[in-house]
Amino acid sequence: MKTAFVFACVVVAALAASLSEEEKKLQEIHDKCQADPATYVDHELLHNLSANIDNPKVGAHMLCESKAVGLQKPNGELDLNVIKQKISLTVSDKAKVERLVKECAVKKQTPEKTAVNLFMCLDKDGVTYFHEF
């Protein structure tokens, strides 16, 4: 039992060491959202967002992450400047960044649906930076 625990600690430490600072921040945000019962969601639901777009737990979790990373303001409104800046971390083509902001940063019926749609749209275009954990 102790051996398994030590091995798990070594694996976690090795993985943490290999993450960039931004990835570590994203992991912390994800973990914080998962630690709150109001925003906890089964990982399987997150890995198939399109099939779970109307799931309130998925929406709550994605809004939690979106607000924490700055994509949405505390009131749920999109922050286009932050979205553009975050997309630019993984997309160097300025025209593509602008296109993605116009296509993906679209207000939906609720802040939760806005968050889910934003992540799904970006993922569809290969911008998976925001939710790999």
Asked whether the predicted pLDDT for residue 53 surpasses 80, the reply is yes
pLDDT interval class at 46 (50, 70, 90): confident
Which tokens go with 19?
Answer: 């993450």
What does each C-alpha distance from 22 to 57, 90, 110, 119 come to in angstroms? Answer: 25, 11, 28, 17
Q: Which of 35, 36, 33, 31 is nearest to 16 (CA)?
A: 31
What is the pTM for the complete model shown? 0.79
pLDDT of 70: 93
Q: What is the mean pLDDT of the chain?
A: 83
Domains of the chain: 20-124 (1.10.238.20)
